[in-house]
């Protein structure tokens, strides 16, 4: 097709040229172009699109937005195609973007910079790119995004793949976000297979950068490919160390360290981080430092090296703050993904620091980090960890105040697995947790008169309801009694007295009615009326079958008492049988005096045994003679 150029309505100097190369992008192109509109309306701007052979509606969509639209034959060279758009650019700045990238609705920081004289200080502008791995956009990594460059004749795209412009200094770091969906699971495999031959056939020596880029074309979740992926990254690191250059290639270490974490090869991940820091001599701190401290902290934590893990995790958090304030050196990144720059990773490190300080017995430091946590900022894959951290902290520090909130939060999750994990860890630490609960509630000798405060304490006790370990039931009983009595008190604080009477109980919500009836049952237990208590619980179970777990806890002491009675009775019967056997053996051997002594003692021990009468007869006529 012949190049189409829209007539320019204004002749002012162009601030920004936006260049794109596209092919068969009808599903995603309109969203990308529509997102550029606020930027284009705010600035003297042009949009240049080169199509490399689309057979769908891509050109039709592009015509609605592009100032310059043309077609070029595709020869497998991304750099050459980019240069075609660069050759037609007239703006002071050049911004190249792909169809699978969407500029965030809030691009005000970028607009303000380009409208001000402040932009004159810089040669390159960086933004943040979110790399999404699924359609929900809930999980992503962060890439340092160097795509806006001052347009100078000598700065050209010079590679057939992974083409870039030189990021000349100084660089202005902006918080503006670009959303990238090009590496989601359903398309990443296609791109890996497309890029691999291009990288393998690229002319020139195999550098650490090319080795790392080639490793990206191998999948981490395919066994026969992950070995090759790791091999290429190890070669990249070794080649970087052998180069003798003071400039290290950070991306190779980051990729290898993250792969080792993914493979759960924690000692190897630790070694990669140490090799990186052995090469790191430059200042100021770089973005890759943040990533490598994160890798080092996680690798040490997962080896239970808690005392050594806290320092790199804290160093990571300090650099995380600097990163989001735009104060870290950026040129080391070059578009490589940062796995540690998101709020999910920062929150994970906060939970890990709380856990590690707990294990070190430094409970004040652990509590400080727990106060900074927010489970909403965790990935679902980390939910179980957060619950486990709370249990371990409570068990070892004796501070159980967070557990009620934790259990309540877990119960609201659509996935039950974190709750199950929480309860399992709770059961494993029950011996430490029970005294901690008792100490906590000893601070409330009576139920609080404030309904809100009372309810808050009840939520904490109710954590115990979901513990299904039968061995814990007897230990739970005192706390469950407290729960019922407090909840009954809570009901009376909220309700009119006449509604709480037994005859009006049917008017109450099920939970309130249950608690008031359970309180009456406990009164029978306090009076040692175990039979009446048992009957009351049977009636409760019929009326409230949904509360079977609570009732099973209330039955525990009765069941245990009955088990003990049965055990005692069985032991006594075995003892009685042994005594009677000894009696008959003595008679058989003609030891009358010994048999008499055994019978006398047995009568004192079990005088109600009807067999004693027969034993007396046997003693008088041991040989079975007739009575006179």
Reported as a single tens digit per residue, the pLDDT across 213-258 is 999 899 888 888 999 999 999 999 999 999 888 788 889 999 999 9
For residue 17, the 8-state DSSP code is E
pLDDT of residue 542: 85
How many C-beta neighbours within 10 Å does residue 472 have? 19
- Tokens, residue 344: 């999910």
- Angle of CA points 22, 28, 34, to nearest 5°: 95
pTM as predicted: 0.71
pLDDT of residue 484: 80
pLDDT of residue 231: 96
Q: What is the mean pLDDT of the chain?
A: 84
Q: Is the pLDDT of residue 2 over 60?
A: no
**94 sits in which H/E element:** strand 93-96
Nearest to 102 by CA among 140, 57, 149, 158: 140
Range name among 6-15, 151-160, 405-414, 476-485 with the lowest pLDDT average:
6-15
What lies within 8 Å, CB to CB, of 538 at 6+ separation is: none
C-alpha 512/C-alpha 527 separation (Å) is: 23
Residues 142-165, buried b or exposed e (16+ Cβ, 10 A)? Answer: bbbbbbbbbbeeebebebbbbbbb
C-alpha 269/C-alpha 213 separation (Å) is: 20
Asked if residue 105 lies in contact with residue 37, where contact means CB atoms within 8 angstroms, the answer is: no
C-alpha 327/C-alpha 320 separation (Å) is: 10
pLDDT digits (tens, 9 = 90+) for 265-275: 999 999 999 99
- Most trustworthy range by pLDDT among 307-321, 456-470, 555-569: 307-321
| 498 vs 34, higher pLDDT | 34
| 309 vs 199, higher pLDDT | 309
User: pLDDT exceeding 70 applies to what percent of the chain?
Assistant: 86
Nearest to 79 by CA among 191, 20, 169, 159: 159
Q: 3-state DSSP call for residue 225?
A: helix
Q: How confident is the model at residue 343 (pLDDT cuts 50, 70, 90)?
A: confident
Average pLDDT over every residue of 482-511: 78
Q: How confident is the model at residue 264 (pLDDT cuts 50, 70, 90)?
A: very high
Q: How confident is the model at residue 561 (pLDDT cuts 50, 70, 90)?
A: low
Q: Is the dihedral of CA 70, 75, 78, 84 positive or negative?
A: negative
Phi/psi of residue 429, nearest 5 degrees: -110, 20
Nearest to 475 by CA among 537, 425, 431: 431
Residue with tokens 């005692």: 568
Nearest to 252 by CA among 301, 291, 195: 291
Q: Return the half-sphere exposure (C-beta side, CA atoms, 13 A cut-off) of residue 466.
A: 21
**How far does CA 152 lie from the centroid of its chain?**
46
Q: Is the pLDDT of residue 48 over 90?
A: yes
Asked if residue 374 lies in contact with residue 386, where contact means CB atoms within 8 angstroms, the answer is: no
What lies within 8 Å, CB to CB, of 404 at 6+ separation is: 456, 459, 460, 461, 462, 463
pLDDT of residue 625: 42
Q: How confident is the model at residue 184 (pLDDT cuts 50, 70, 90)?
A: low
pLDDT of residue 551: 78
Nearest to 249 by CA among 188, 332, 176, 192: 332
Q: Which residues, listed in sequence order, are joined to residue 480 by a DSSP beta bridge?
A: none
C-alpha 431/C-alpha 436 separation (Å) is: 9
pLDDT digits (tens, 9 = 90+) for 297-320: 999 999 999 999 999 999 999 999
């Amino acid at each position: 097709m012949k190049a189409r150029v829209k007539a320019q309505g204004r002749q002012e100097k162009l601030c920004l040229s936006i260049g794109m190369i596209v092919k068969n992008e009808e599903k995603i192109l309109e969203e990308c172009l529509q997102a550029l509109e606020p930027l284009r309306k705010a600035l003297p701007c042009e949009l240049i699109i080169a199509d490399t052979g689309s057979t769908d509606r891509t050109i039709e969509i592009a015509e609605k937005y592009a100032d310059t639209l043309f077609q070029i034959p595709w020869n497998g060279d991304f750099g050459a195609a980019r240069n075609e758009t660069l050759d037609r650019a007239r703006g002071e700045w050049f911004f190249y973007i792909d169809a699978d990238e969407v500029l965030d609705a809030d691009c005000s920081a970028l607009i303000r910079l380009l409208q001000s004289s402040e932009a004159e200080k810089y040669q390159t502008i960086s933004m943040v790119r979110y790399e999404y791995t699924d359609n929900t956009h809930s999980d992503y990594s962060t890439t340092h995004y160097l795509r806006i460059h001052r347009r100078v004749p000598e700065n050209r795209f010079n590679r057939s793949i992974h083409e870039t412009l030189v990021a000349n200094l100084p660089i202005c770091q902006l918080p503006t976000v670009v959303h990238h969906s090009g590496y989601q699971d359903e398309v990443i495999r296609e791109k890996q297979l497309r890029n691999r031959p291009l990288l393998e056939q690229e002319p020139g020596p195999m550098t650490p950068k090319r080795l790392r880029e080639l490793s990206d074309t191998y999948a981490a979740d395919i066994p026969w490919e992950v070995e090759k992926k790791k091999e290429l990254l190890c070669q990249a690191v070794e080649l970087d160390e052998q180069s003798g250059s003071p400039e290290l290639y950070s991306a190779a270490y980051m990729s290898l360290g993250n792969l080792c974490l993914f493979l759960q090869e924690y000692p190897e991940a630790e070694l990669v981080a140490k090799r990186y820091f052995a090469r790191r001599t430059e200042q100021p701190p770089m973005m890759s430092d943040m990533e490598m401290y994160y890798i080092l902290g996680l690798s040490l934590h997962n080896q239970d090296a808690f005392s050594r893990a806290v320092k790199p995790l804290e160093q990571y958090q300090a650099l995380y703050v600097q990163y989001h304030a735009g104060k870290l050196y950026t040129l080391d990144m070059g578009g490589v993904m940062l796995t540690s720059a998101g709020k999910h990773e920062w929150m994970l490190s906060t939970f890990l620091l709380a856990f590690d300080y707990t294990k070190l017995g430094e409970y004040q430091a652990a509590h400080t980090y727990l106060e900074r946590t927010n489970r909403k900022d965790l990935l679902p894959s980390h939910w179980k960890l957060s619950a486990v951290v709370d249990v371990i902290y409570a068990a070892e520090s004796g501070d159980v105040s967070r557990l009620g909130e934790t259990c309540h939060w877990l119960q609201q999750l659509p996935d039950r697995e974190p709750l199950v994990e929480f309860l399992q860890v709770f059961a494993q630490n029950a011996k430490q947790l029970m005294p901690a609960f008792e100490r906590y509630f000893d601070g409330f000798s009576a139920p609080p008169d404030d309904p809100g405060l009372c309810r808050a304490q009840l939520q904490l006790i109710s954590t115990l309801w979901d513990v299904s370990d039968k061995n814990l039931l007897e230990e739970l009983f005192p706390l469950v009694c407290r729960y019922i009595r407090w909840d009954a008190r809570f009901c009376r604080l909220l309700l009119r007295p006449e509604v709480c009477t037994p005859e009006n109980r049917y008017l109450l919500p099920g939970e309130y009615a249950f608690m008031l009836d359970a309180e009456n049952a406990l009164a029978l237990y306090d009076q040692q009326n175990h039979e009446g208590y048992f009957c009351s619980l049977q009636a409760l179970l019929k009326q409230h079958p949904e509360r079977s777990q609570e009732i099973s806890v209330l039955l525990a002491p009765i069941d245990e008492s009955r088990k003990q009675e049965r055990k005692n009775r069985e032991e006594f019967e075995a003892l009685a049988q042994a005594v009677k056997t000894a009696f008959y053996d003595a008679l058989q051997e003609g030891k009358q005096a010994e048999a008499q002594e055994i019978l006398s003692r047995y009568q004192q021990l079990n005088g109600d045994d009807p067999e004693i009468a027969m034993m007396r007869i046997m003693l008088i006529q041991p040989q079975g003679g007739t009575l006179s």
